[in-house]
Amino acid sequence: MKTLVVGNSLCVLPVIENILGQHKDQEVTLFATEGVLPYDRSLLPALLTGDTDEKHIYKTAEIFLAAYHPQMITGEALARISVKRRYLTTEKKAQINYDRLVLVDTGHVVLPPVKGCQREGVFDCWRLPSIKALKKHLPFADSVTVVASKPQGLNMACALSRMKKEVTLISPTTGLLADIFDDETGLLLKQILEGKGIRIISDNAIEEILGDAEVKAVKLKSGKVLASDTVIFDETKADIRMLSEPTLTDHDQIAIEESFKPSVLPSAPVSFGMDILNGFYAGWTKLPEGGREYLKFDGPQNIYKKIYVHGNHMVGTVIFNAPQDNERLAGILQRQDNISGKEEEII
């Protein structure tokens, strides 16, 4: 059986590992939708600032591919997938047949349905081509509006603030990253970022992007109009318009990446906020049913540490501006140490 895995994020790697782990003799081909090796999308804000280079974002994939050796197709762009006839067509008219397709991402995204998204100066923050285009655009940009509901958007706002751009962050909720953090943590996050010069407009959304060919301003649902020459969205969906049958079933054996939405499972360790905030979280980031929470806050230093406990064990942690504690608390969480009676002490 020939399995074709389509995508460019690191999500393709566990898919390939799982297939080859179960069927070592199976033929697996990876079609890289952006023409390059799979890369770590979370590093794109650091790539924008120059804190990392393009070679580094491929490092995980290079190590994996050297160990597993699937067939690779790069340098081609995806044009169309005929699901029922089981073949993929590239923009160069090459046809790739398969028995089973696993579609992780298409290399293309659909931005939110906001009027004016087609104007020059509108970007997503998930794809390398978008970040390269943004980098060319920024020397001519002053005011940037970032619509953020995920750490990626928050990191992009912090990156742009470090680059001395005037940054406005639009949050659809009262606090920040409401799908991840509780209200207390989200509101404090907002307060800290405002103190660092990032303008936060919460409980709002962009209704329209104004301008002629280029972005000049954004109109919010509240009716307020903000001058802006750049708009960045972190809320996207996979573009599946190149599928011949866009309505798919489990029988088609296709899994489309869920546009980076937060999982209902405990979070793997995540660093965010760059050096504007030095944020970190792992495990449960909201109080679980039957659980307890403990926190420590140093206002002058903006140091905030919160742990979530269930029974005798820590089940999650959130830390702002105390990077020296990230590894220690993550270790306690991973080892599932018994911390009964020591909760206040460990934070």
Residue 7: its pLDDT value, please? 93
pLDDT of 24 reads 73
Question: How far apart are alpha carbons 202 and 171 in whole angstroms?
Answer: 5
Tens place of pLDDT for every residue, the chain, 347 residues?
899 999 999 999 999 999 988 877 789 999 999 999 999 999 999 999 999 999 999 999 999 999 999 999 999 889 999 988 999 999 999 999 999 999 988 888 999 999 999 999 999 999 999 999 999 999 999 999 999 999 999 999 999 999 999 999 999 999 899 999 999 999 999 999 999 999 999 999 999 999 999 999 999 999 999 999 999 999 998 888 888 765 554 444 455 554 444 445 677 899 999 999 999 999 999 999 999 999 999 999 999 999 999 999 999 999 999 999 999 999 999 999 999 999 999 99
Q: What is the pLDDT of residue 252?
A: 46
Cα gap 70→64, rounded to integer Å: 10
Q: What are phi and psi of 41, to 5 degrees?
A: -65, -30
Structure tokens at 132: 């390269």
Q: What is the pLDDT of residue 244?
A: 74
For domain 2-107+239-252, the CATH class is alpha beta
pLDDT at 332: 97
Q: Which of 120, 110, 119, 186 is nearest to 154 (CA)?
A: 186
Cα(234)–Cα(111) distance, integer angstroms:
9
pTM here is 0.91
CATH topology agreement for domains 2-107+239-252 and 112-233:
yes
Q: Where are the domains positioned within the chain? A: 2-107+239-252, 112-233, 278-346
**Range 291-314 burial, b when 16+ CB lie within 10 A, else e:** eebbeeeeeeebebbbbbbeeebb
| Phi, then psi, of 196 in degrees rounded to 5 | -95, 5
Cβ neighbours of residue 155 closer than 8 Å, sequence gap 6 or more:
42, 45, 46, 272, 273, 274
The architecture CATH gives domain 112-233? 3-Layer(bba) Sandwich (3.50)
Nearest to 276 by CA among 185, 164, 133: 164
Residue type, 142: D
Per-residue three-class SS string for 315-336 = EEEEEECCHHHHHHHHHHHHHC
- Judge contact between 47 and 131, C-beta under 8 A: yes
Gap between the Cα atoms of 227 and 240, Å rounded: 33
Q: Are strands 237-238 and 267-272 parallel, antiparallel or unpaired?
A: unpaired
Alpha-carbon distance 268 to 308, whole Å? Answer: 15
Structural contact between residues 145 and 125, judged by C-beta atoms closer than 8 angstroms: no
